[in-house]
Structure 1
C-alpha cells in the first residue's frame, strides 16, 4: 500500500482552477459545495499526488467513491481536452505575436518610405534618425497621403536655395499642415488669415483668433477678412476694425 502524503496547497489550488472549482462527478460548484481533491487512481492502489492523477470532487462524491479505482476515463478525457485547448491557445498566441512583429516591420518600412519621399523635397539633405522618430509619431495620427499632401504644401514656401533653417521650418510645418487640413473649411481659412497677419505685422497671439472668430460670427465674410489681412497696416488698426465689426 502506498503511503498517503498531504497534497500541497499550491497543487490543490492548481487543480481547483483547472476544474473551474467544480465537482467533476456531479457538477456541484463552490461555494455551494465544499470541494476536496480526489485521486483518480487511489493512493491505496499506487496513485500519487501528480496533478494528472487529481481532480476536484465535492464531499458527497468523494466520500461515495472511497478508494475504488475509476475505470471511467471521463476525467482523463477532460484533462486531455483541457491540455489540447491550452496548446491551441499557445499556438494562437504565437501566431498573434508573429503577426504583430510583421506589422511592426511594415510600419518601419512605411516610416522609411515616408522619410524618403520627404527627402525628395529637400535634395542633398536626409531625414536622420531623430527626424524618422518624428515621422513615426506623425504616422500614428495621420495617413501617408495626408503627410505627403502637407509636404507638397510646405514645399511651396521653400526658397529655391533653402538653408538649414528653411529646411527645418519646412519639415516641422508638415504635421501642423496635417492638423489644419483636418479642420472645417472656415477654421482653415481663419488660420490662413492669421498666417498672413503674422508675416506682415505684429500679432497678439492671445487675441487674434478670438477677434477674427467674433467678427465672422457677427457677419464678416471670411474672404473679406483675408483680403483685409493683406492690407492692414498694424495690429492696433486690425484689432479696432475687428472689434467694431463684432460690436455692430
Structure 2
C-alpha cells in the first residue's frame, strides 16, 4: 500500500487551473462548490501525486467516491488530452516569447543603424539614451526609408559646422518631415509656403493655412502661392491677396 503524501498547494492550483476549476465528475464549478483534488487511482491502490493521476472533484463527488478506481479510462484520457493541450500552449507561448525577443533584437539593431546615420550627418555630436528612445518611437510609426529621407531633408538645411541648437532643431524636424511627406502633395506645398512666410514676415498662425486653402480652392495655383510667399512684403498684404482670390 502506498503512503499518502500531502499534495502541495502549487500542484493543487495547477490541477484546478487545468480543469478550469470544474468538478470533472459532475461539472459543478467554484465557488458554487468546494473543490478538492482527487486521486484517479487511489493512494490505497498504488496511486501517486503525479498530476496525471490528479483530478478536480467537488466535495460531494470526492467524498462519495471513496477509494474506488474509476470504471473506465475516460477521465484519464481526458486529463491526458488536457495535459497535451497545455503542453502545446506552453510550447507556442515559448515560441511567441522567442519571436518577441528576436523582434526586440532586430528593433535595437535598427535603432543603432538609424542613430549611426544621424550622427554621420551631425559631425561632432552624439545621441543619448533619450534620443535613442525617440528614434525607437519613430520606427514604430514610420519606415526606416521615410526616416532617413527626412534626415537628409533636415540635415541639408544645417550649416557645415552646426552648433548644438542647430543639431537639436534638425533632430526634432525628422518626425515632422515624415508626417508632412505622408500628406497630399498640395498640402505639403502649402506647408512649404507657410514655412517661407514664417521665415520672412509675421504670420497669423491660426488663419494662415485656412486662408491659403480657400485661395487654392478658388483657383490659385499652389506654385504661384509659393512664389508669392517669397516676395510678399508683410502679413497684411498676404492676407488681403488671399481673401481677394477666395472671394473672387
Aligned residue in 2 for 1:84: 84
Matched-pair contact (CA < 8 Å) for 1:42–1:67: yes
- Following superposition, the deviation at residue 85 of structure 1 comes to 2.0
TM-score (norm 2): 0.79
Match of 2:95 in 1: 95
Rounded to whole Å, the distance in 2 between the matches of 1:219 and 1:39 is 85
Name the CA shift for 1:43/1:169 in 2 (closer, same or farther; >3 Å). Answer: closer
What is the RMSD computed on CA atoms of the aligned residues?
Answer: 3.7
Q: Secondary structure at the match of 2:231?
A: coil
User: Aligned in 2, Cα 1:14/1:90: closer, same or farther, shift over 3 Å?
Assistant: closer
Normalising by structure 1, what TM-score? 0.79
Give a deviation string over 1:106-126, Cα, whole Å, max 9, x none.
Answer: 111111110101111112222
Structure 2 counterpart SS, 1:230:
helix
Q: For residue 162 of structure 1, give the secondary structure of its aligned residue in structure 2.
A: coil
1:194 equivalent in alignment to 2:212: no
**C-alpha displacement of 1:90:** 1.6
Q: Which residue of 1 aligns with 2:172?
A: 172
- After superposition, give the CA deviation of every residue in 1:180-238 in whole Å (9 maximum; x if it has no partner): 00000010010010011011111111111111111111111111111111110000110
Preserved contact between residue 40 and residue 69 of structure 1 (Cα < 8 Å): yes
Can you list the C-alpha shifts for 1:14-72, whole angstroms capped at 9, x where unaligned? 76764464755xxx7569xx9997764468868799875555689xx999988643352
Aligned partners of 2:112, 2:48: CA distance in 1, in Å? 60
Mapped contact 2:23–2:35 kept (Cα < 8 A): no
CA pair 171-15 structure 1, distance change in 2 beyond 3 A: closer
**1:137 partnered with 2:146:** no
Q: Cα gap change, 1:22/1:241 in structure 2, threshold over 3 Å: closer, same or farther?
A: same
Structure 2 unaligned residues grouped into runs of 5+: 2-9
Q: Partner of 2:183 in structure 1?
A: 183
Q: Counterpart of 1:7?
A: none
Equivalent residue pairs, number: 244
Whole-Å separation in 1 of the counterparts to 2:158 and 2:63: 88
5+ long unaligned stretches in structure 1: 2-9
1:5 is matched with: none
| Counterparts of 1:13 and 1:91, CA distance in 2 | 20
